[in-house]
Structure 1
Amino acid sequence: MPPAPLCPCSSGLRYRECCAPFHKGEAEPPDAERLMRSRYSAFALRDAAYLWKTLHPDHPYRSRPQGEVLRELRAFAQGHQFPKLVVMDRRPADAAGVAQVLFFAKVFEKGKDRSFVERSDFRHDGTGWRYLSGVTLQLKELRGPPEALTLATFPEP
């Protein structure tokens, strides 16, 4: 029997022991980093319903029709490959309840590198951590290797 697949979030763990319980609704990610990892895995696995569920109520997409957003998320996920995720930095929730995660997402579209770095904001909604917003930089906007960035050195757009 072949070994169980590794999780797309690049944690090094098997999917069933990492993001699967979150995707199946058996558990909530315990912190913002785990939520971010589970969302990356959901993109890789084309799980638009999970991506919708994990948007914070204050995220702009939540003001749009759910079906429309789900179609857009599905189309994006289907048109891209998500081979690797690198988490570079994280910050626990501040006084306003916002936690941050800085990550480098390897993403390809029809063989073209569409990788980016994002500083994501997350807030707990009473049930679990949810994606609130993010600032994304394309690799060409960076002055050095993306893995060298920290939250303190992330350039403001």
Structure 2
Amino acid sequence: MPPAPPCPCSSGLRYRECCARYHRGEAEAPDAEALMRSRYSAFALREVEYLWRTLDPEHPDRARPKEEVLRELRAVASGHKYPRLHVLDRRPPDETGTAVVLFYARIFEKGKDRSFVERSEFRHDGTGWRYLTGENRAPHQLSVPPETLTLATFPSPSGRGTG
């Protein structure tokens, strides 16, 4: 029997021991970082229903028809390869309940590098953590190597860090 595949989220664990239980609905991600990792894995494995389920009710896609969003997610997930995820920094929930994770997603489309760094916000909806919003930058838009960024040094639109 071949060994179980590693989880696409780059945790170092096997998929069945990591994000699979979240994708199957057997458990909720325990924190914002785990949710972010499981969403990256969901893109890699085309688990679009999970991507829909883990959107915050206030995310703009929630106002659109579900089937339309799923069709778009399926197209994006199918057209890309997801070789590596780097979690760069995280901040626990603040007084509003919003947690933040900064990550560098390595993504390729037909051999072209589509990687990006994203500062994502998450909220707990009483059931589980949900993806609220994200602000991202392509590596060529950064003045430093992506792996060196923190929440304090991630460039916001005004040019200031967001931490």
Give the AA of the match of 1:57. Answer: P
User: Unaligned regions of 5+ residues in structure 2, if any?
Assistant: 158-163
Query: For residue 106 of structure 2, what is the aligned residue in structure 1?
Result: 106
Structure 1: how far apart are the matches of 2:74 and 2:3?
A: 28
Q: Which residue of 1 aligns with 2:30?
A: 30
TM-score normalized with structure 2 length: 0.96
Q: Deviations over 1:15-38 (max 9, x none)?
A: 000000000000000000000000
Structure 1 regions of 5+ residues with no counterpart?
none
* Amino acid paired to 2:35: L
CA RMSD of superposed structures (Å): 0.5
| CA apart distance, 1:122 | 0.1
Q: State the aligned residue count.
A: 157
Written as runs of structure 1 = structure 2, the 5 A alignment for 1:1-157 is 1-157=1-157
Secondary structure at 1:135 match in 2:
strand
AA paired with 1:79?
A: G
* CA positional deviation for 1:98: 0.3
Q: Give TM-score, length-normalised by structure 1.
A: 0.99
Separation in 1, partners of 2:90, 2:110: 31
CA-to-partner distance for each residue in 1:67-94, whole Å, 9 max, x for gaps? Answer: 0000000000000000000000000000
Q: Tell me how far 1:144 sits from its aligned partner.
A: 1.3
